[in-house]
Structure 1
Amino acid sequence: MFRATIPHTPRSEGVLLVMQRAVLGSLVLVLVACSGPKTVAEKHTGAAEPSAATNAPGDKRAQVMRIFMEATQARLGGQIPKAVQLYQQCLKLDPTNGAAHFELAKLYHQGQNFPAAVDHAKRAVAADKENIWYRFLLADLYAQNEQSDDAATVYRDVLAKWPDRYEVYFDLANMLAYGGKVDEAIKVFNDQEQRFGLSEELIMHEFSVLSQQGRMVEAQALVERAAKAYPDEPQYMGLLAEIYDQQGEHEKALEQYRKTLERDPDNSMLRIALAEHYYGVGKMEEAYNELGLAFLDPDLDIDAKMQVLIGFFEMTEREGEQPNDRPDLIRRSYALIESLEKAHPESGKPHTIHGDFLLRDGELEEARDQFREALRTEKERFPIHMQLLQLDLQLGDHGSLHTDAEETISIFPTVPEPYIYNGIALSQLKQHDAAIETLITGRDMVVDNPPLLAQFWSSLGDAYNEAGRHADSDKAYDKSLALEPDNSGTLNNYAYYLSVRNTQLEKAERMSARSLELAPGAATFMDTYAWVLFRLHRYADAKVWIEKAVASGEVDGVVAEHHGDILFELGDKTGALEQWRKAKELGGGSELLDRKINEGVRVE
């Protein structure tokens, strides 16, 4: 009997839920957050890099230029050590060459050598105080190392020299706020407003700083001012409603939401925020109505809707405060998923979250259908392929497992995991040589992953055994256990196959006992242990363990036939015949089962 060791793919984690979890949270999005500064390249897209201009004498200047160009070619070609060496040669000839210091600073940062990166960035700034790019690099290095005060100092120097650099005000304010100097950050925003005027970007940056610091009175005043300055922009009215909700002024919040929707009835993101409001005050029917309208809007970003459903998924994993809370939320979740599928028929995401819900709710075949549908438009999403293969295996559909694994391999030919599933499928389909070949192919792709390599050796042990190559099977299992000595599935399978062959029974007994220590409630493992004990002629002990397996409720034809064999050796021929007949009904027994029933004796 083939006992496939299922590759480890946690069932409780759906495909989409490997992403960051989120409950139904604030969904009037603050698009400009108080995040760390952008990299130099991001800030100054299209800006020319510094040249290798040098103050060295004529001949030396030409030599520096030549070496600098050679260093740059090495850098662009990925020859980083060579590039570092050549830039250093430039500095030996011209110690104040700012461009060489600048390039070395970037390369040392890339190599995680922060002190050297900062040193060269500072030297670059000292060499050419008129070069703003050098200062941006130095500030960026400080910021990435969480030296907010030093970064702020650099940004202040930049603004002192280039006061019209609009984006630098945000960088300076962000660094001040990150360092806890919120009042100074607000002053920077005020200076920016005086110089450039009020703007959406400025409002959102300042609001982000204030709200993150819990200064909601000031945040509210800012948004109210923005709403007056931009009366045709409903986002500020919606944001004001959210602030009211956060401060517990729910009636004012509801009034504000209604006013905003009157002006902008097609704003589906605002409807999600209103749904959150209703949810917070316990008006569930109103909340679901708003969500239903928002979910049917094809223009609303699908990811915003997905975050709501992911929140629902989390909430439905536990019981609610009232007995009917969970079933009601599950029902409504499926209704929202249906709306999502209607609004976004071109996307596979609705089918993926649908599959996650069905999988969690134990509807394996329906879940598989949804993941398969998702792959029609999301073929490059490897986790969905893996979930589909896992479900094929759990459902025992080895034909589909082979077909789906072949397709996954065709898309991801250098990823080893699908080869395990294909090997299992081929072995179950009695294509033993092909199974062994595909498992060896996948095994040879594994790099620096001992658990995965152990899984391949274990699956090869299964496949070799099915092919009757018992010596190869034993070697494969031994190699697997050398890598993962406490893999309960491998221990069980190895022990079982040894017991079937009636060889190395003491070793089989040790491995089977260990598998039960690791997984004490596994019925298949109990059956294996009972059969090993049977082979050792310890029939009374075998009866104890086979009855434990039966008591677990997971009885198949193999377990029932083993039960009958054990009872027969203990002299209970009536009980043995009853179990053999039961095995016949269940299916999956040995080829000798009919003889046992017809002749009333156990035969080998």
Structure 2
Amino acid sequence: MTKQWLYVIDEAIKRIENDEVELGLQALQKVQEHGKDLPEVMLYLAEVWYRLGHLDEAAELLAEVMKANPELDPPLRRECQLLLAEIALDGNDFEAAQHILYELKESGYENLRLDLLLTDLYAMQGLDEVAIKYLEQARQKEPDNKEILTALGNMYFQIGKDDEAMKALEQAGEQSVELLLSKSRVLAQNGDFEQAYHLYQHALEQEQSAEILYGCALMAFHTGNVEEAADYVGRLLALDEEYVAGYPLAADIFLSMGKTEKSIEALEQYVELSGFDLDQIRRLVALLTQSGRYEDAKEYQKLLDAWNVDEE
């Protein structure tokens, strides 16, 4: 009987994924009505409700399963508790999540998912040091788990332990790029352009992407490495000529090098691709005027005036 109900749930999921949402939900409701005496089926159904975003339905169903089955098999009960804790975290109910997770921890239960949920609990409350403790426990269980290493590197970055973060990143392999970018952005926002530039270059060694090339170009420009900035922005636009943010940056770089015409070309390309940043159009008009290209300046001024009217 259990396998039959699980099959019905899987078929209902397929209906929902194929845009037959109403039929799929009706099937799930029927399973809930007629399969209440099967805890394994109800747990699976609760997981499905949770994945579909029906958090209240999932939580209520789990509570009913645990209440109706006081002698529930311990592994199954723990699965119910872990899912309830996850639902509580998604709803920012930290007190409920902590109560469930501590109860499991104090019972002597050791589990990777438990450690990760405790990590989430404290990270979401800004208690990074405590979160790292549980993340380290998770790494002890699975030392080569890239997801754990990635999360650990990110947490180390947040508390300023860059050396430990880099070690975790190196062990994580290709997933370290995301964290390098995350840290680079934070450093750049804090004005630490030199260190941000270093990390962007490190990320570029692992992945040639438009975002990383843009970061390298921007940081090179901010640190006064103009020739390097020009090289990076050239590579960026060769890789992705529709990377719109690259053109104003290219204009800045070329202007700083005294290459006004190349700056104008970059801004003209920018306007052709996006055309919505009026400040950049004003800048283009000013550069064209300064260069004596009055007719071209008039054309862009007309465009600017038209958009100004539309905004009003």
- TM over 0.5, shorter chain: yes
Contact 1:189 1:206 in 2 (8 A): no
Corresponding letter in the other structure for 2:217: L
2:194 paired residue number: 365
Corresponding letter in the other structure for 1:239: L
Distance in 2, matches of 1:353 and 1:432, equals: 34
Contact 1:244 1:252 in 2 (8 A): no
Contact 2:119 2:131 in 1 (8 A): yes
Contact 2:194 2:223 in 1 (8 A): yes
Contact 1:375 1:385 in 2 (8 A): yes
2:31 paired residue number: 188
- The root-mean-square deviation of aligned C-alpha atoms, in Å, is 4.8
Say if 1:38 and 1:208 are closer, same or farther in 2 by CA, change over 3 A: closer
Contact 1:244 1:250 in 2 (8 A): no
Equivalent residues in 2 for 1:576-595 (5 A)? Answer: none
- Could you tell me the TM-score, scaled by structure 1's length? 0.38
Distance in 1, matches of 2:64 and 2:221, equals: 59
The structural deviation recorded for 1:293 is: 4.1
1:171 paired residue number: 25
Corresponding letter in the other structure for 1:471: G
Does residue 271 (structure 1) correspond to residue 115 (structure 2)? The answer is yes
Distance in 2, matches of 1:231 and 1:239, equals: 12
Does residue 204 (structure 1) correspond to residue 47 (structure 2)? The answer is yes
Equivalent residues in 2 for 1:154-553 (5 A)? Answer: 155=23, 170-172=24-26, 185=29, 187-191=30-34, 198=41, 201-206=44-49, 212-213=55-56, 216=59, 218-222=61-65, 228=72, 231=75, 235-239=79-83, 246=93, 248=96, 250=98, 253-259=101-107, 261-262=109-110, 264=111, 267=112, 269-277=113-121, 285-294=129-138, 297-301=143-147, 305=151, 330-331=158-159, 334=162, 337-338=165-166, 340-347=168-175, 348-380=177-209, 382-415=210-243, 417-431=245-259, 435=262, 439-440=264-265, 443-444=268-269, 446-447=271-272, 449-452=274-277, 455=280, 458-459=283-284, 461-462=286-287, 465=290, 470-472=291-293, 474-484=294-304
Distance in 1, matches of 2:70 and 2:285, equals: 67
Distance in 2, matches of 1:281 and 1:383, equals: 30
- Which stretch of the first structure deviates more once superposed, 230-239 or 368-377? 230-239
The structural deviation recorded for 1:362 is: 1.7
Aligned length in residues: 285
- Whose helix proportion is higher, 1 or 2? 2
Distance in 2, matches of 1:378 and 1:464, equals: 41
The structural deviation recorded for 1:378 is: 3.3
Distance in 1, matches of 2:297 and 2:172, equals: 48
Say if 1:390 and 1:463 are closer, same or farther in 2 by CA, change over 3 A: farther
The Cα offsets for residues 570-589 of structure 1, whole Å up to 9 and x where unpaired, read as xxxxxxxxxxxxxxxxxxxx
1:39 paired residue number: 18
The Cα offsets for residues 269-309 of structure 1, whole Å up to 9 and x where unpaired, read as 43121234457899875433113444684415269839x95
Distance in 2, matches of 1:236 and 1:343, equals: 33
Distance in 2, matches of 1:480 and 1:453, equals: 10
Distance in 2, matches of 1:352 and 1:392, equals: 15
Equivalent pairs: percent with the same residue? 13
Corresponding letter in the other structure for 2:183: H
The structural deviation recorded for 1:371 is: 2.1
Say if 1:464 and 1:192 are closer, same or farther in 2 by CA, change over 3 A: farther
Distance in 1, matches of 2:218 and 2:257, equals: 17
Corresponding letter in the other structure for 1:274: L
Distance in 1, matches of 2:157 and 2:174, equals: 26
Corresponding letter in the other structure for 1:253: L
Distance in 2, matches of 1:283 and 1:365, equals: 29
The Cα offsets for residues 300-355 of structure 1, whole Å up to 9 and x where unpaired, read as 5269839x95xx8xxxxxxxxxxxxxxx9953575774454143232311110111
Secondary structure, aligned partner of 1:362: coil
Contact 1:386 1:418 in 2 (8 A): yes
The structural deviation recorded for 1:408 is: 0.5
Corresponding letter in the other structure for 2:25: D
Q: Which of structure 1's runs of 4+ aligned residues deviate more than 6 A?
A: 208-211, 279-284
Say if 1:413 and 1:193 are closer, same or farther in 2 by CA, change over 3 A: same
Structure 2 stretches lacking a partner, 5+ long:
1-12, 306-312
Distance in 1, matches of 2:126 and 2:289, equals: 61
The Cα offsets for residues 527-556 of structure 1, whole Å up to 9 and x where unpaired, read as xxxxxxxxxxxxxxxxxxxxxxxxxxxxxx
Contact 1:226 1:236 in 2 (8 A): no
- The structure with the largest alpha-carbon Rg is 1
- Could you tell me the TM-score, scaled by structure 2's length? 0.65
Contact 2:204 2:212 in 1 (8 A): yes
Structure 1 stretches lacking a partner, 5+ long:
1-33, 41-139, 144-150, 156-169, 175-184, 313-327, 486-604
